Amino acid sequence: MTGDRTEETTVSRRGFLGTAAATAAFSVVPSSVLAGGGSSPSDKLNIAGIGVGGMGKNNVRRCANTDNIVALCDVDKKYAGGVMDNYPDAEKYTDYRRMLDEMGDDIDGAVIATPDHSHAVITAACMQEGIHVYTQKPLTHTAWEARQLYKLAQKTDVVTQMGNQGHSGRGTRKVVEWIRAGLIGEVREVHCWTNRPVWPQGDLDIPKKDAPGHLDWDLWLGPAQKRSYSPAYLPFKWRGFWDFGCGALGDMGCHIMDPPYWALKLGSPTAVEASSTKVYDEVAPKASVVHYEFPERGDMPPVDLYWYDGHMKPPRPVQMKAGSSLRDNGTVFIGEKGALTCGTYGGDPRPIPTSLLKGFDRPGKQIPRVPNGKGGHEQNWLNAIKEGKEAVSNFDYACPMTETVVLGNLAIRARKRIEWDAKNMKVTNVPEANKYVKMDYRKGWSL
C-alpha cells in the first residue's frame, strides 16, 4: 500500500532502524549506561496489532512489555474493545489498509492475529511496506499462500515469525537434540494428536442474520467470497469453516507437528491420505486421521506421520507401562530402540522407557535456548529486529511446515490419497484436488 505519501528528504524511522540493524546490530545507547537505568528511546520499536480481540491481545501485551504499541486494528469494535482501551495512546483502525496508508512509515513491526483466511493478504501487505511481521499459526490458509510468503520473505528481507510459541521452548529443543543424538534410534513413525475441535464442526445449522453494528462484516470477510453474516461463524467458531479456518489440524498442527518436523527435517511429503467422519463442502469434519508419507532425507529413513483429531488418539506405545495413558494433546516418536513423547508445545519430553536415559551420552544444549522472560517467542522476534538477526520460526522454516500441515486438509477434502509434487506444487494423481491448493480470492483482493 502506497497511499498518497510523497517522498521526503528525511529518512523514515523504519528505514533508519533497518539500516542500523544491518550495519551495526541496531546502534543504540544501552539502557545500562543511562542515568537511572532507563531505556533509550531508540531502543523501542513501534508495533502495530492487527486482529487483537483473540490471541492477538496476548501477543500485543507481550510486545508492550518492552516496546511501543502505536496502532491497533480490528474489524469488531466490541470483541476488541477492551484491548483498544488498554492502549489509549495507540491509533485505532478498522481497516488495516488505511492503517498502512496513514502510519506505515512509522510502524516497525506488525502482529497479525486475524482469522486464518486473511493471514496471508495482511502479512504480505505489511511485508511489502518493509514492516517486520509476527503472524499467528497457521501461517496461511492454503499451500499456495505459504509458498508465496516464502518467496516474499526472500525478496523483502524483513524479520518474520510464525506464532507457534513452542518453537522457542526448551522442551522442543531438547526433543530435537535427543532425537538427532540417537536416543531412540532411527525414527520411521510419528503420531501427533489433539483433543480439538472444541468448536462446532460437522453438520451445522447456519442461520443468516444481519451483522451486528459493532462488526464490519465485509472487512471481516476480506479475501473470502461474499456471503451473509451468521452467528454460527463468530466468535472463534470460524475455525471449522473451510472458507475461513483450517479446522483442528490447522489450529494445532503447527504446534504439535513442530517437534517432529524440526527434529526429523521432514520437508515436503510425497503423499497424504486421510479418513474422517462425514466431510462437508463448507465445514470440516468432527474427527479425522491424516497419514503423511515423507521420503528419505539424506541419511534419515522414510517417515510415516499420523495426525489424529476429534478426541481420537494413536495406539499406546508398547513400551508404556500398563495403566499409563497418553496426554490430551501431544506427539510420540517411535524409534528402533524405544519411543519419545512430548506435549502440545514440545514440552515435558519423556523417553519410553525412561531407562533409555541411563548411559545415554546427552548432547547438551547444542541448539541455543530462547530466554523465556515475558513472552519469549514475541521477544525473540523483537530482539531479532533490533539485532539484525533471524527469528527462530522465521518464514524459511514456517512456510514449508505450514504448507505440509494444510496439505492434510487438502487430503481430507479430496477424500482420496493424494500424491504431491512439491516442486511444481500440484497434486498429480487427483487433478480435481488442485482446486484446494489455492484460495479463490474475492474480486478486489489479492496477495
Find out whether 283 and 199 touch, Cβ atoms under 8 Å: no
pLDDT band at 180 (very low <50, low <70, confident <90, very high): very high
**Grid cell listed for 328:** 490430551
What is the pLDDT averaged over residues 158-183? Answer: 97
Q: How sure is the predictor about 104, in pLDDT bands with cuts at 50, 70 and 90? A: very high
The tens digit of pLDDT for each residue in 371-410 reads: 876 679 999 999 999 999 999 999 999 999 999 999 999 9
Residue 282 CA to residue 247 CA, distance in Å, equals 11
Phi, psi of 182 (to 5 degrees): 85, 25
Is it the case that residue 169 has pLDDT exceeding 50?
yes
The answer to whether residue 423 scores a pLDDT higher than 60 is yes
pLDDT on residue 373: 61
What strand order describes the sheet that includes 303-309? 350-352, 339-342, 330-335, 187-193, 303-309, 288-294, 271-276, 418-421, 426-427
Q: Is the pLDDT of residue 1 over 50?
A: no
Report whether pLDDT(334) > 50: yes
Q: Domain residue spans in the chain?
A: 13-165, 167-368+396-436
pLDDT higher than threshold 90 for residue 7: no
Euclidean distance between CA atoms 415 and 202, whole angstroms: 15
Containing 151, the helix (H) or strand (E) segment is helix 143-156
C-alpha–C-alpha distance, residues 272 and 294, integer Å: 9
Q: What angle in degrees, to the nearest 10, is found between the helix axes of 119-128 and 143-156?
A: 10
Is residue 283 within 8 A of residue 229, CB to CB? The reply is: no
The pLDDT of residue 242 is above 50: yes
- State the DSSP code for 223: T
Task: Assign a CATH topology to domain 167-368+396-436.
Answer: Dihydrodipicolinate Reductase; domain 2 (3.30.360)
Name the percent of the chain lying above pLDDT 70.
90
- Say which CATH architecture domain 13-165 belongs to: 3-Layer(aba) Sandwich (3.40)
Report, as an integer, the average pLDDT of 145-166.
97
pLDDT tens-digit readout, 252-298: 999 999 999 999 999 999 999 999 999 999 999 999 999 999 999 99
pLDDT at 11 over 50: no
**Strand segments (E) across 39-156:** 46-50, 68-73, 91-93, 109-112, 132-135
Residue 211 burial class via C-beta count within 10 angstroms: exposed 0-12, middle 13-18, buried 19 and up: middle
Which residue is associated with the grid cell 506405545? 317
pLDDT band per the 50, 70, 90 thresholds, residue 81 = very high
Residue 12 or 231, more confident? 231
| pLDDT-derived band at 15, boundaries 50, 70, 90 | low
16: part of which helix (H) or strand (E)?
Answer: helix 13-24
- pLDDT, the chain, mean: 91
